[in-house]
Amino acid sequence: MPKTKKSIVFCHGLWADGSCFSKLIVPLQAEGYECIAAQYGLNTTAEDVAAAKETIGRVSGPVILVGHSYGGSVITGAGTDDRVVGLVYIAALAPDADETSQTQQAKFPGTDVFSQIEVVDGRIWLRPEGTKYFCGDLSEEEQKLVWATQGAPKPDLFEAKVGGTAWKSKPSWYIVAKKDHTVHPDLERAMAERMGATTYEVASSHVPMLSQPGFVLDVIRKAAGA
């Protein structure tokens, strides 16, 4: 029987791993979508983009890439792959060719979460108190789980260019998190406008896929059906 549905590959951000998409993957799989989440070390952007491309190879094409937060930088680089036909950004970064994740953020006001981080043993860790700025609309139990499963990045992760600008050539959808205290909502709106994305706004913290999964699922379904 011929394949009719697009496959979906998820790319996570800082202080997260692929499990942050669990509320999306389970229902999408039930609907017949091939889904997989890229797991990478947050050591270098080049390694993370390469891991995303390798993960694309584990599902059938064509592929929709979904990136959250720094995962938006990852899909911006990895999305130039010919197997990718669309991009979904969730409260995400999306650097241009001459930008890095850091220079992009520097153009907008700093956010509260960065007052709750510390560098220890060569990694940037989110303090337990920082979850209120990262995922404060989740239950206390879920916030503790987010903290306990965080992926801590290398300090210079944001300094590298991503090696491609997929949103210049691929259809894009963007979810703005209006109550975000990690990536500034004005940055999100500016990125969505610049890439000409189909844009949606939701009253959410930085993690709409956990706090508003139904909303995010609807956007992914629209992207996958386009």
Closest CA to 85 of 171, 3, 168: 171
Considering only CA atoms, which of 135, 145, 166 is closest in space to residue 52? Answer: 166
- For the chain, the first-to-last Cα distance in angstroms comes to 21
Question: Which among 97, 123, 126 has a CA at the least distance from the CA of 111?
Answer: 126
76-127 pLDDT, tens digit each: 999 999 999 999 999 999 999 998 888 888 888 889 999 999 999 999 999 9
Domains and CATH numbers, the chain: 7-225 (3.40.50.1820)
- Mean pLDDT is lowest, of 43-47, 160-164, 166-170, for 160-164
pLDDT of residue 3: 60
Query: What's the DSSP call for residue 71?
Result: H
**Tokens coding 160:** 């590298």
Q: For residue 107, which amino acid is it? A: K
CB atoms within 10 A of CB 139: 10
Q: What is the pLDDT of residue 87?
A: 98
Angle between helices 213-225 and 22-30 (to 10 degrees): 50
Please name the residue that has the structure tokens 């130039």. 80
Taking residues 178-202, what's their average pLDDT?
Answer: 97
Per-residue pLDDT at 1: 41
- The enclosing H or E element of 208 equals helix 208-211
- Say which range, 40-54, 100-114, 204-218, has the weakest mean pLDDT: 100-114
- Give the pLDDT mean for 177-200: 97
Mean pLDDT of the 16-45 span: 97
pLDDT of residue 38 exceeding 60, the answer is: yes
Residues contacting residue 183 through CB under 8 Å, at least 6 positions apart: 69, 91, 92, 93, 105, 111, 177, 206
The mean pLDDT of 133-137, rounded to a whole number, is: 97
Read off the pTM. Answer: 0.96
- pLDDT given for residue 103 in this prediction: 87
